[in-house]
Chains A and B, each alone.
Chain A
Amino acid sequence: MGKFLVVDDSLTMRRIVVNALKTQGFENVIEASDGKDAVAKVLSEGAQFVITDWNMPEMNGLELAKWLRTNPQYENIPILMITTRGNKDDVIEAMKARVNNYIVKPFTPQGLKEKIDQILKTVELKSA
């Protein structure tokens, strides 16, 4: 698997997600503190998988997802949203913005692995 980009304005959450990824063998991980920072990192360093929070300053996770999907170079990049927002309407809004999967905080390492595996399986099937 290529490079993961973890986007969250909470340093605590970034550390937790990065550690969970590394425990599962995903060593290549970079971080961004909000959507705007994430766009800069995608453009300068590239990423093959984006894990993003929703509520963030400057540019939120939903806006980041929309930016990625409207940019031909990144329109197929897998996006996993990890957020405290667990209302039905929120999930529908995120899915309409074409995120690949959705995790409600607090998450478990097993839950994270399950969602990543599901996304990677779908991406593999599409590219096969």
Chain B
Amino acid sequence: MDNSIMRSPQIPEGQFPRDNDAGSLKDFIHLLHEIVPLLENVRNSIEESSHRIPKASKQLSKVTQETEDATVEILNVLEGMTSRISGAEAQLQRLKEIIQGSRDSAKKMTERLSSGSSEELSSTELTALVVNECLSGIETSDAIPSIEDVLRKTKEDSMNIAMALQVQDIASQQIASVAHTIESVEVQLVRALNRFENGSAGDIANDNAEELAAAARVFDVEARYGGSEERQDIADEIVKQFSNNK
């Protein structure tokens, strides 16, 4: 008996035995039937997401604009307050000068009285003398220094509130950074969609990528409100080194 007849036929690598061809094709078609709707779902999801992203980005931009508007309104109020406080300080200074002037006059009149020429003082002058004595009481009390102190502290507080509003600029940079990340995802989604439909990423995605690169100039990814003292110390040290090397 010829042993070669009993041996299994040699199957070239990568080929199925002919008996299994029909079954494999059937499996492949079945797989395609399952994959195509899945891919369609993926495509729809990408399309939907890519439509939602510009809206999200626009909303973030609106948040930035509205907080800037509100911050400007607060700054307007603070500037008005500071201006009124400065006005009150000026008026208080004027009042102090009037009191001082009146006291100087009173002092002169007191000298005339003590020199025994009180009969020479008119009733108006005597009234002024009494009023001036009252004013000297005001001047020596702590009323005016207290008011000055309150005005100074209120002015400092309003200045500190204004300075704290720098948080708006820093927050807007953080928001811009998030928006940039979202828009970068959108570019990738548009590329994926184009590949689905046309087989290439397409010009729109490239144009968007250029726009994104330009937008990235406007913000600092690492912008933060806290810890500026330590970073300022580092900056001061570098500035000092450069100044010494000049």
Nearest to B216 among chain A residues (CB) is A55
Q: How far is the CA of A122 from the CA of B242 in the complex (A)?
A: 13
B98 interfacial contact with A, CB 8 Å: no
A25 interfacial contact with B, CB 8 Å: no
A113 interfacial contact with B, CB 8 Å: no
State whether A55 touches B234 (Cβ < 8 A): no
State whether A108 touches B68 (Cβ < 8 A): no
State whether B234 touches A10 (Cβ < 8 A): no
CB interface residues, B 147-173, toward A, < 8 Å: 159, 162-170, 172-173
Q: How far is the CA of A116 from the CA of B75 in the complex (A)?
A: 23
Shortest distance between the CB of B1 and any CB in chain A (Å): 84
Question: Given the interface contacts A54-B220, A57-B218, does A16 sit within 8 Å of B75 by beta carbon?
Answer: yes
State whether B75 touches A55 (Cβ < 8 A): no
Shortest distance between the CB of B157 and any CB in chain A (Å): 13
> Which residues of A are found within 8 Å of B243, using beta-carbon distances?
122
State whether A10 touches B163 (Cβ < 8 A): no
B238 interfacial contact with A, CB 8 Å: yes
> Which residues of A are found within 8 Å of B168, using beta-carbon distances?
10, 12
> Which residues of A are found within 8 Å of B165, using beta-carbon distances?
12, 16
CB interface residues, A 9-23, toward B, < 8 Å: 9-13, 15-16, 19-20, 23
Q: Which of B79, B225, B239 has the most CB of A within 10 A?
A: B239
> Which residues of A are found within 8 Å of B235, using beta-carbon distances?
86, 91, 102-104
A-B contact pairs, 25 of them (CB 8 A): A10-B68, A10-B169, A11-B68, A12-B72, A13-B169, A16-B165, A20-B159, A55-B218, A57-B214, A57-B217, A60-B217, A84-B170, A84-B220, A86-B228, A86-B232, A86-B234, A91-B234, A91-B235, A95-B238, A95-B239, A102-B238, A105-B166, A105-B170, A106-B164, A106-B167
Q: How far is the CA of A101 from the CA of B238 in the complex (A)?
A: 10
CB interface residues, B 202-231, toward A, < 8 Å: 214, 217-220, 222-225, 228, 231
Q: Work out how many contacts link A and B, with CB atoms closer than 8 A.
A: 103
- For the complex of A and B, list the 6 residue pairs with the smallest distance between their C-beta atoms, beginning with the closest: A86-B231, A84-B223, A106-B166, A10-B169, A95-B242, A91-B238
Q: How far is the CA of A45 from the CA of B165 in the complex (A)?
A: 29
> Which residues of A are found within 8 Å of B214, using beta-carbon distances?
57
Nearest to A95 among chain B residues (CB) is B242
Q: How far is the CA of A58 from the CA of B27 in the complex (A)?
A: 58
Q: How far is the CA of A104 from the CA of B225 in the complex (A)?
A: 10
